[in-house]
Amino acid sequence: MTYKISFGTDGWRGKIAEDYTFDNVRRAAQGFASYMLTQGKQGQWIVVGYDKRFASEYFAVAVAEVLAGNGFKVYLTQEATPTPVIAYAVLDKKAAGAVNITASHNPPTDNGFKVRNETGGAIDPEGLEQIEAGIPDDVKDVKRKEYNAAEAAGEIVKFDAATPYIEHLTRDGLIDLQPIKDAGLTVMADLMWGNGAGWFPRLLAGGKTKVIEIHNQRNPSFPEMKRPEPIQPNIDVGLKATVDNKADVLLITDGDADRCGIGDENGEFINQLRVYALIAYYLLEVRGERGDIVKTLSTTRMLNKLGEIYGVPVHETGVGFKYVAPKMTETNALIGGEESGGYAFRGNVPERDGILAGLYMLDFMVKTGKKPTELLKDLFDKVGEHFYDRIDSPFTGDHESRKKIIMDNNPQTLGGLKVTSLVTIDGFQYNLEDGGWMLIRFSGTEPILRVYCETTHADKVQAILQDGLKVAGIK
């Protein structure tokens, strides 16, 4: 039976050598090529990039060969490259789109296949359905041009994506690096064995600020962590190193450097919902910028409060940048993001950028002269203290059966708080009387069920999550 390739929250991901094979990667590339042809992109350039997972560079070559075989020209990154840098290359090269070989934060067993359009942002759900529909059942139906021949013909060209991206950051007014360089900070950076390695030292070189990197080599088994996802316990080594080195802050980028995590000066993790609110607060308050905020329903309500305070609209979408990116483009949003630690910014591309997010955190510290703990206190003085956690759980049975269990349970209270409404944009989100929420949804990238919660009551977080597992029939 032919393996069915499905595009979830952010592309297709599978287990290397089991589902994620060269033949299946070529089939996926053919589906993308067929879609681009229907979009009138014949003969145009497409960017192909990759991460540091097992054999990613070879899977990228396989994709380039298929695109060349379909009459496209390919810009292939000369090395493993952060996802936001690949996304910007689409704009810089005036390309029709991109394919990125990465499984982002997934376990080391996996690899993935992300697709992007001419904006550098994620392709919308309708487009993804068309790509899936164009994937041939048999690899014999894949068009392919051998790499050496395509390169000799100028149809596959290796290129440096880093330099144009770095020039863009400063030229287009996204960040002034000099004050950060001159600030004399000690910055700990955990690159999680991924594509972010070397970037902060390169960007901040030549001043008093010092960057200390860990996990900055290629190691596809991701030792000292379960996976390259910037949350605990994966970042515990980095948090300890922050204290040991008396660093002012910990910056964390995930496997493909599109997500950003933050640790404070005391080696305590600042969860990703708080980081999103902090960066939005920085843009609105410190930089005085105004513009719409786009958020997935799985991220913080602190953004809604900031929207009210600063008079900017807040838009809520389903989970994934396939929803966030189109809404950002439509509204020219100031910032867009999600619960996973991925944030995108106006003036850049509608794509998560863990490098720029980290630089914004440093600039926030420099412009205010405050430590991360002090910045968090300032945020809470504005919007109140909010508490969050998430539980990921495997489950048995199919999605539809599990959805029926959830609907039949119909809880009236969660963790002792009254349920005020149910939203089913993406999963099941129960709004609570304190303004908080609990969300149950299926992961779009892994076979697990997630239960999320945010509340203003620190002592109720775990009780709400446990009640969420009961509603889902897990406990």
Residue positions counted in the chain: 475
Q: What is the pLDDT of residue 8?
A: 80
Q: Which of 424, 372, 396 is nearest to 263 (CA)?
A: 372
Which residues of the chain does CATH 3.30.310.50 include? 387-471
Single-letter code of the amino acid located at 59? F
What's the whole-number mean pLDDT along residues 135-142?
97
> What is the per-residue pLDDT across 110-119, written as a single tens digit (0 to 9) for each?
999 999 999 9
Question: b/e string for 103-134 if b means 16 or more Cβ within 10 A?
Answer: bbbbebbbbbbbbbbbbbbbbbeebbebbbeb
Band (144; pLDDT cuts 50, 70, 90): very high
Band (185; pLDDT cuts 50, 70, 90): very high
At the second CATH level, the architecture of 387-471 is: 2-Layer Sandwich (3.30)
Q: Give me the chain's average pLDDT, please.
A: 96
What's the whole-number mean pLDDT along residues 87-106?
97
Separation of alpha carbons 143 and 132, rounded Å: 16
Q: What is the pLDDT of residue 283?
A: 98
> What is the per-residue pLDDT across 332-367, written as a single tens digit (0 to 9) for each?
999 999 998 999 999 999 999 999 999 999 999 999
For the ranges 9-13, 85-89, 258-262, the lowest mean pLDDT is seen at: 9-13
Q: What is the pLDDT of residue 229?
A: 95
Which residues of the chain does CATH 3.40.120.10 include? 12-164, 173-383
Band (2; pLDDT cuts 50, 70, 90): confident
Just give the CATH number of 173-383: 3.40.120.10
Q: What is the pLDDT of residue 58?
A: 98
For residue 471, pLDDT over 80 is answered with: yes
Q: Which of 86, 88, 77, 95 is nearest to 36 (CA)?
A: 95
Separation of alpha carbons 30 and 45, rounded Å: 15
Q: What is the pLDDT of residue 334?
A: 98
The structure tokens listed for 357 are: 């997010």
Q: pTM of the prediction?
A: 0.95
Q: What is the pLDDT of residue 136?
A: 97
Band (375; pLDDT cuts 50, 70, 90): very high
Separation of alpha carbons 103 and 56, rounded Å: 10
Q: In what order do the strands lie in the sheet with 45-50?
A: 12-15, 110-116, 98-101, 45-50, 73-77, 156-159
Separation of alpha carbons 208 and 13, rounded Å: 42
Query: 12-164: which CATH topology?
Result: Alpha-D-Glucose-1,6-Bisphosphate; Chain A, domain 3 (3.40.120)
CA angle 281/452/374 to nearest 5° reads: 30
What's the whole-number mean pLDDT along residues 15-27?
97
DSSP state of 71: T
Q: What is the pLDDT of residue 463?
A: 98
Q: What is the distance, to the nearest Å, from the Cα of residue 336 to the centroid of all Cα atoms in its chain?
A: 11
Cβ-contact 457, 444 below 8 angstroms: no
Does the N-terminal peptide bond of residue 107 adopt cis geometry, omega within 30 degrees of 0?
no
